[in-house]
Amino acid sequence: ETMPVPNHVHKETTSEIIQLLDVITKKSEFITIFYSVLEGGSEYDLFAKAILSYAHAAGKTMDILQNVVQSEFEANIGTPTSIMRGNTAASRILGLFCRQEGKQFLKKQLSPSINSIVGGEISFEIDHCKLSGDIPVQKKANLGNLLSFAECVLSTIATPESILDMPRKIKALAFHIQRLATQHSPENTMLLVGGFVMLRFINPALMTPDFYGLVQSGSLSMTDRRNLTLLCKLIQNISNQRLCNEEWMLDCNEFIEKNMHRLEEFYVHVLMDPMQETDEQEPFGDLFNVTPTEQLNPEAIDLEAFKFFHDIFIDRKSELLEAFGQDENLRESKEAMKLVELLNDYGETTPPEVNIELYYSPLCPFSRAVWLFCLETGIPVVTHKIDLLKEDQALDQEYKKFSQLSPSLQVPLLHVDGEFVLEESAAICTYLCDLFYVGNHWLPKAELESVSRIHQQLDWIQHAIQIPVLRLWEACKNPTAEALQLTRYRDFVTNLEILDKMYAMEKERCNKLPTCPYFQGNAPSLVDLFTILSLSFGQLIQGFTVNKFPTLKLAYYHFVNQYSKKYWKQINYEFEGFFKYVITATSTGSVQQIRQSVLFQQTPHTIYEMVQDPENDIFLFLASKTISTKTNAKLKRGLKKLNTEGGAQDDKAEETDEAPYVVNLDIGGEFNIRGREGTNLLLVPGKKIVQTSRMSDWEAGYLSTVIFEFETIENSQALLHFTELNCPSENSKAQEEHWLRFWKKINGVRVDTIDQTIVLKTKGPEMLFNILTDWRLLSKTLKSKMKFEENGGVYMHNNKVYATITSTVPNKRIVQDWRCLDWPEDLFGRVEQDLEGYEGGCRIRCKIHMVPYDRVKMVEKLWKSSMWKKLGGIVCTSLKQDIAFLVPPNQVCAMLLDGSVLSSKLRNKCQSSPETGSQFIAGHLKGTVMKYQENKQIVLCVSHKDWPNHNSLVTLTLNPVENGTEVHMYHENIPSASIKNISDMWSNDFWEKIDGILTTNIQTSCILNSTSPEILYMTLLDKNALSQIVGSDSCISPKVGGQVSLYDKVVKGGVSALELNTSITMSLRYFNWPFGLQAETCFKLDEINGGKGTVFTVQQNRVPINQMEDAAKNCEELCKQLKKFKFSKK
């Protein structure tokens, strides 16, 4: 039975393989027999690579090479010119060794010459059958090109400097071939030496320079390859000391004959040992007489070599044993018999099993790193997924076991053989590298300096990168746009910039090209693993881009798109949904949002299942047990036929039997619930559902994101917080109604929160606390009859309301359960009243949660008229406005704080000055300047003529912007009855008269999964493509300061900043906007999917409120058309 050896090898297996290789490489005949059972060119190449990997680790490279060369001579005694010219083990091994050992030499000597002809107009074609036009003229010119370039190559390689620079081991092999040729075929000595030097060393690099790294991959045209073929044919004929027989090459013979002796002289110098000091000293003796490594370190052998030999020893065992049995000479050889014995025993014993369990989260970057490492290496681990977003873990058996193993309750966690526990990601991967042989590129333990640098870098990553990434992870659990701003993660970005420089320095230390993708070579190390997973997670930050770290970007893209292409999608299956949820939730404009809160009598887990499968009979039965008698009667006929309570209108689009009903409860699964179709992005049982969603009647290209978040409240009831993002504006009203119908059908009650601020001037916190907590005193104060219950509850407001106090903090806080008697059964609101002293009286901040949505206005009015007004309170609210001025902040302040200027602007008598405590009078406002921070902030305490004895606070914050000033006004403590009048006063009677323009900000986004930031950036700056997307003549200049024209010149402006493949910032204005006002508009391109996708965000700041609708519609339409557009892949 074949032992599974995916991308790791058990330590005991490596010992068996090394034992076999020790014997195999002692005799070239053994190597030849193993080569004979291979199938095809790829296996021949793998065999050569594996043999050399073992030879280097064992210190036997020159010894093995001498043996295979000698066997080649012995096998071709009768035909010496066939030596090293056939498809033999010796030819393959020698060719690979020359490439590995001489790559840098060949690049240095040949790369400049070859690159001078690549991609040019030059041609070496001299075959008249492949020429057209004036053939004699062309052939003469091309022959000159060919001979001239051949002369250049020969001159380059034959210089004393070049010969001295040639790798000494290759010279030693040439010397060994010369010694054997002198013994076996002295007349062909230089021919055989040339066959090795040219045929196995120099000509392969000339024929395939891209394979050797001499030219950029993919740069060779068909003409280039033909040129190089003709060049190699010419040089090989010189080396073979043979004139051309083909008629079309006869013109080359003079050049060939002239250079035969020249190459012989070159070989003579190659055969000289530059280290030989005396004639008595054996040339290259120090290379031929190397003592093999006493104790071979398996880590020094490539993992691929172990895997190759394992497969051969298992799959070709019978063929190998048969080959050894048929050779009589081998049957008498002790070494051969030992080899046969080892082969017979190989694979018969299974290495001891290690029981390894990995507790991980597919969302945590460090968990994903360990999980991916195990997948890439094939290490046999039993995985246990831990849902870090799930709150109620009491019934989760996986989590219960995990919590017993982990004091910190953090993933990843490795549990080995039921005893040993590791909880740190880098430590886990290091331990697994010790337990299994996984390939030395992950952790090069055979190279002390390299492995020390890996450990050093992992330690640095742990404190410099891991700490901000964990902070980001905490922010993503409940994402907000503010928490994911790039400014909050400057330490992360700065440390990645340092890491980028560290990568570049390490490549230089390892003599690797800048194009080499990883930290220490062409394959990833543990440093690359944790760096790449951190970069992937960092893309959740708004404005973060891998483009800022060119060296890290190379590793990231190569790993994601090439090295780990097989497993990257698997480990990101759930993370992609989480990623889309976080990005969408934090980058979508408010104009595209539907937000609703819904109360259910069932638990969050039940509603979680019901939302995904609303017509399941079990859930219909559960719902029927907790609702009113009236509704329950309808449930007996089936909940899916339930109409709006008290009405008879059917939702035909959803209720018809023909409408699809496809349920899918898996992440990534597609569903279709009666016309609403989409995909599950994130599923956290009992807590959160995130889906892409669209209605069947929406226009093609539109796709929203719906988020269901479940909260457990009293009596284990579920409070659902629902959000739909990116809903098409023309469908938003219909979509609101769709969800209202859906909630009612699954027995949900839409609820809302009422937020009131009440100012009472004549009563302090202590007095009000006593009144509000003593029902009898409250009844007396309100002069309203109440019915008092023995349990402490009370019926009030003409028996319309029932309330009971649940908790208090003396003179500070009161919490009640409160309900109107006409609310649905068992539905209680929660009232929170926070009291604080204010201007000699009291200010109460009162929040009434879980009020049925259709009763909100009635409840607001009830509290205001029947409670606060009778207590002598004024219900207050706040107002926010953003105002743009086309003058700098100092001029705005001078205007606002100069009474005479204000008087002339407002056309009434005003008073104002910058002095703190000075009087402020403007229009119907009267008060005091409380604070002035020069050109930055003005704070006013003002009253209004309609409420002269009530003070409010106005804070004006000024920010300089391009072409003027942006003022943020926050006016708090306004009597709610006056809020519309005050808003109109500021808008019409104040800002407009002093040349202020009310503005707002607009933000819209979309996800383009298959369009990279590079392609999108290029497309947006392409006039034809942009015009096609927008649907009218449009152009964005690719230069800073260049012009922008959109929608047939309806929108004009200029480019203010460009960040390649990351953002386009412009100053734009519509033709009908106030003259001089420009909106700062930014197209942000955030990469996703390993650079293959983009989150595209349009952010427009300072849009005039009265023109907001057109601007918002254009932004939304742009995102919609981008989703439809067929982007060029070039």
- pLDDT tens per residue across span 28-65: 888 888 888 887 777 888 888 888 888 888 888 899 89
Fold of 877-995: Alpha-D-Glucose-1,6-Bisphosphate; Chain A, domain 4 (3.30.530)
What pLDDT does residue 901 have?
94
Distance of alpha carbon 775 from alpha carbon 867, whole angstroms: 13
Min mean pLDDT across 108-112, 155-159, 316-320 is at 316-320
879 three-state secondary structure = strand
Cβ 418 vs Cβ 405: under 8 Å: no
Higher pLDDT, 1120 or 871: 871
936 three-state secondary structure = coil
pLDDT band at 641 (very low <50, low <70, confident <90, very high): very low
The two counts, helices (H) then strands (E), for the chain are: 41, 33
Question: Does domain 752-869 correspond to CATH entry 1.10.10.10?
Answer: no
Distance of alpha carbon 846 from alpha carbon 89, whole angstroms: 87
Q: Residue 412, preceding bond cis, omega within 30 degrees?
A: yes
Distance of alpha carbon 377 from alpha carbon 566, whole angstroms: 12
Which residues partner with 834 through β-bridges? Answer: 813, 845
What pLDDT does residue 971 have?
97
CATH code: domain 353-438 is 3.40.30.10
> Is pLDDT of 88 > 80?
yes
> Is pLDDT of 1046 > 60?
yes
pLDDT tens digits along 749-791: 999 999 999 999 999 999 999 999 999 999 999 999 999 999 9
283 three-state secondary structure = coil
pLDDT band at 494 (very low <50, low <70, confident <90, very high): very high
Q: SS in 3 state form for 296-348?
A: CCHHHCCHHHHHHHHHHHHHCHHHHHHHHHHCHHHHCCHHHHHHHHHHHHCCC
> Is pLDDT of 204 > 70?
yes
Which residues partner with 760 through β-bridges? Answer: 842, 873
101-112 burial code (b ≥16 CB/10 A, e <16): bbeebbbebbbe
What pLDDT does residue 578 have?
86
pLDDT tens digits along 124-158: 999 988 888 888 999 999 999 999 999 999 999 99
What is the number of other CB atoms lying within 10 angstroms of the CB of residue 317? Answer: 15
Which letter does DSSP use for residue 854 in this model?
A: G
What pLDDT does residue 258 have?
92
> Is pLDDT of 644 > 60?
no
Distance of alpha carbon 613 from alpha carbon 661, whole angstroms: 9
pLDDT tens digits along 392-424: 666 677 888 888 888 888 899 999 987 889 999
Cβ 875 vs Cβ 757: under 8 Å: yes
Among candidates 699, 726, 724, which has minimal Cα distance to 1116?
Answer: 726
Which residues partner with 594 through β-bridges? Answer: 724
CA angle 685, 688, 692 (to 5 degrees): 115
Question: Taking each helix axis from N to C terminus, what angle separates 11-24 and 28-36, rounded to the nearest 10 degrees?
Answer: 110
Check: pTM over 0.85? Answer yes or no. no
Q: SS in 3 state form for 552-621?
A: HHHHHHHHHHHHCHHHHHHHCHHHHHHHHHHHHHHHCCHHHEEEEEEEECCCHHHHHHHHHCCCCHHHHH
CA pseudo-torsion sign 767, 771, 773, 774: positive
pLDDT band at 629 (very low <50, low <70, confident <90, very high): very low
CATH code: domain 589-747 is 3.30.530.20
520 three-state secondary structure = coil
Which residues partner with 678 through β-bridges? Answer: 671, 693
Distance of alpha carbon 287 from alpha carbon 625, whole angstroms: 89
> Is pLDDT of 502 > 60?
yes
- Cα distances from 1065 to residues 528, 1004, 1126, in angstroms, run 33, 15, 24
Residue type, 443: L
Kindly give the pairing relationship between strand 356-360 and strand 382-385: parallel
DSSP code per residue over 712-757: E-GGG-EEEEEEEES--GGGHHHHHHHHHHHHHHTT-EEEEEEEEE
Cα 698 from chain centroid (whole Å): 30
Q: What does the block give as tokens for 118?
A: 């690549």
How high does pLDDT run on average in the chain?
Answer: 87
Among candidates 220, 200, 169, 178, which has minimal Cα distance to 62?
Answer: 169
Cβ 35 vs Cβ 89: under 8 Å: yes
CATH code: domain 440-571 is 1.20.1050
- Phi, psi for 51 (deg, rounded to 5): -60, -45
Cβ 889 vs Cβ 936: under 8 Å: yes
Distance of alpha carbon 713 from alpha carbon 721, whole angstroms: 12
- The separation between the first and the last C-alpha atoms of the chain, rounded to the nearest angstrom, is 49
Among candidates 357, 361, 354, which has minimal Cα distance to 390?
Answer: 361
Distance of alpha carbon 17 from alpha carbon 339, whole angstroms: 11
Q: For the sheet with 413-416, list strands across it.
A: 382-385, 356-360, 413-416, 420-422
CA angle 638, 644, 650 (to 5 degrees): 75
Tell me the helix, strand and coil percentages in the chain, rounded to 5: 50, 20, 30
> Is pLDDT of 486 > 50?
yes
Cβ 1116 vs Cβ 729: under 8 Å: yes
Which residue spans of the chain are classified as CATH 1.20.1050? 440-571
Cα 678 from chain centroid (whole Å): 23
- The residue count of the chain comes to 1130
- Phi, psi for 678 (deg, rounded to 5): 175, -160
Distance of alpha carbon 186 from alpha carbon 941, whole angstroms: 110
Question: Does domain 102-284 correspond to CATH entry 1.10.506.10?
Answer: yes
Using only C-alpha atoms, what is the Rg of the chain? 40
57-76 burial code (b ≥16 CB/10 A, e <16): bbebbbbbbbbbbbbbbebb
Cβ 354 vs Cβ 360: under 8 Å: no
pLDDT tens digits along 889-917: 999 999 999 999 999 999 999 999 999 99
What pLDDT does residue 393 have?
67
Cα 527 from chain centroid (whole Å): 17
Distance of alpha carbon 340 from alpha carbon 20, whole angstroms: 9
Q: What is the largest CA-CA distance in the chain?
A: 129
pLDDT tens digits along 164-200: 999 999 999 999 999 999 988 888 899 899 889 998 8
Cβ 25 vs Cβ 64: under 8 Å: yes
Which residue spans of the chain are classified as CATH 3.30.530.20? 589-747, 752-869, 877-995, 1000-1124
Higher pLDDT, 161 or 516: 161
What pLDDT does residue 650 have?
44
Which residues partner with 886 through β-bridges? Answer: none
Cβ 510 vs Cβ 461: under 8 Å: no
pLDDT tens digits along 1073-1092: 998 899 999 999 988 777 78
1000-1124 homologous superfamily: START domain (3.30.530.20)
- Cα distances from 1123 to residues 167, 383, 1084, 1095, 1120, in angstroms, run 56, 37, 16, 11, 5
Which residues partner with 884 through β-bridges? Answer: 966, 997
Cα 161 from chain centroid (whole Å): 49
Distance of alpha carbon 643 from alpha carbon 662, whole angstroms: 22
CA angle 249, 122, 252 (to 5 degrees): 15
> Is pLDDT of 648 > 50?
no
Distance of alpha carbon 476 from alpha carbon 75, whole angstroms: 69
